[in-house]
Structure formats: structure tokens, C-alpha cells
Structure 1
Amino acid sequence: MQDVGDIFDNQVLLVALIACFTAQGLKAIVELITKGKVNLRSLVSTGGMPSAHSALVSALATGVGQVKGWSSAEFAIACLFAVIVMYDAAGVRQAVGIQARILNQILDDMFQDGKELNEERLKELLGHTPFQVLVGLSLGIGIAWLVPWALKLQ
């Protein structure tokens, strides 16, 4: 049985996690630049610029390609997984966010006379625009190429 410490020797996993955490950190910076305030919730929230999901899965697929080979079955699986996650982030979850915004607006209109609603508002920022996904994709690929070189992992 392998030691849990061996997990930290997994270059592909480390690169994917670094890409994800970098994207989440960049969300806080983007929030600071666009809104002029620090929002620590952006470090753990879904949605926003750049897509951490896209950064994670694109770094994962790129790392698998680097380690296992670009013609390997593992790369094909990771690549198709990445496409599904990115499609979901920009498609399905974006649509759910739009529906949440409309439902919140309907509730605001219904309860504008001072009555209180006992339910929380729906979270509106769930998905990503295609541009946010593209930036996350580029970030993930870039990190997958730069981090191993910088850390001398290859």
C-alpha cells in the first residue's frame, strides 16, 4: 500500500490543483479591480473570472498528455472530461444562473410591498461566460506547461 505522502509526488494532480487555486486567487484580484473592494468569498465561490473549473480540467488534461503521451487513452479520457466540464460551466450552469436571476426578480416584485420572504435568495452567479471559460482554459494549459519547468519536475 502506498503512503499518503506519495500523493504529493503526483505531478499531474499538483499542476491541476495549482491551476485551480491560481484561478480562484485571480477571482479575488479581478473582483478588487472591477469593484474596488476585496471579497474573500470569491476565493471559494463558483462563477466569475476566470473559470477555476476550466483551469483545473485543462491543466489536468495537459498534464496527463505530458506524462502519459498525447496519443494515450488516459489523455483522451482527460480531454473529453475537460470538454464536458467546460461545456457544463458555460452552458448548463450559466443557464441556471440566468433562471435564478429571473426568479429572484419575480420574488422581489411579488414582495415589494414590505412583506418578508422566508427563503434565501437564489445564487445567481453559478456558471461562466464562454470568455471566462476560455481564460480558465488558457490559464490551465499555461500552468501545466510552466509549473513543471519552474519546479524542475520533468
Structure 2
Amino acid sequence: MAEFLAGLGKNTILMSTITAWFTAQILKTITSFLRKGSFTAERLVGAGGMPSSHTALVVSLAVGIALREGLDSDLFALAVVLAGIVMYDAAGVRRAAGKQAKVLNKLVREMRVEHKVKDTRLKELLGHTPIEVLGGAVHGTLIAYLFYIFYR
């Protein structure tokens, strides 16, 4: 088991992707605190917010593979396609679902006055704005590059 864990620790691409995700979650928590003025622990693991940690993770993976294997490698092509799907989902599908949740929550609040609807709150912060996705992409690129420089 120790050899297995040591092997994982030596995988700089894996370590850069985990680091990109983790540090993006920390940055997301900090930006949320600066915007709202209060600490929200859910931001440490939740979706949505600046920067996109999902984007940081997949972009770090793609950049790490590009730096190690080259832009013409099959692994890089796979990582770019995966990154594109995740980024589209973050800024498109999940963002639209979050907007729908906001409208539904407003309807429930308005109908609650008439006592006709049970109060069910939907999660509204699901996706990302294009700027949040871009922030995640820049963050993931930076982390992958730093790992490449210092750990190759």
C-alpha cells in the first residue's frame, strides 16, 4: 500500500490536477467571503463560484499532458475533449439549471403567502459564468505549469 501511495505522489500530472482543484476551492471560498462579507463552509466543496474548480482540474490535466506528452499526443486530445465537455457543462447546462432553480424558488416564495405550496428550496448556485470558467482555466494552466517547472 505504501508503494502505491508513493507512486501516486510521484505522478506530477495527478498531483497538479488535485492541487488545481483544491486551491480553486480555497480561492472560491475567499472570493465568496469578499463578496458577501461572511464565511460559507459550503463553498469549500460546493459547485459554482469564482474560479471554477472543475475547469481548473481538467485544464490542469490537459496542460500537464501537453507539457509532458506533447500537443500531438492522443492523451492530450482526450484531455482537451474532456475539458471542453466539463467547461461547456459548467457554463451552459449547470448555469441554466441554476437560473431555473432561482425562478422556481421565487415562485415558491410568492405562493407561500397563499399557503398553497410547501417550501422546498432548490440549490441555485450550480454553474458558472464564462468569467468564472475562464478564471478556472487560467488557474489550472498556472498550476500545471508550476508543477512542470518544479517537479519534472
If the length of structure 1 is used for normalisation, what is the TM-score?
Answer: 0.91
Deviation at 1:116, TM superposition (A): 6.8
Mapped to 2, the partners of 1:70 and 1:28 lie a distance apart of 33
| 2:51 aligned residue | 50
Over aligned residues, Cα RMSD in angstroms?
A: 1.8
Structure 1 residue 39: Cα displacement: 1.4
Whichever residue aligns with residue 139 of structure 1, its letter is H
Task: Name the one with the larger helix percent.
Answer: 2
How much has 1:81 moved relative to structure 2? Answer: 0.6
1:133 corresponds in structure 2 to 133
Question: Which 5+ residue runs of structure 2 have no aligned equivalent?
Answer: none
Runs of 4+ in 1 over 6 A off after TM superposition: none
Partners in 2 of 1:18 and 1:65 — Cα distance? 18
Match of 1:107? 108
1:94 maps to a residue whose letter is R
Aligned residues: 151
User: Which consecutive unaligned segments of at least 5 residues does structure 1 have?
Assistant: none
CA contact under 8 A between 2:64 and 2:148: conserved in structure 1? no
Q: Distance in 1 between matches of 2:148 and 2:82?
A: 22
SS of the residue corresponding to residue 14 of structure 2 reads: helix
Shift of 1:146: 1.3
CA–CA separation in structure 2 for the residues paired with 1:88 and 1:45:
15
Report the alpha carbon displacement of residue 130 of structure 1 after superposing the two structures with TM: 0.5
Paired with 2:60 and 2:113, the residues of 1 have a C-alpha distance of: 46
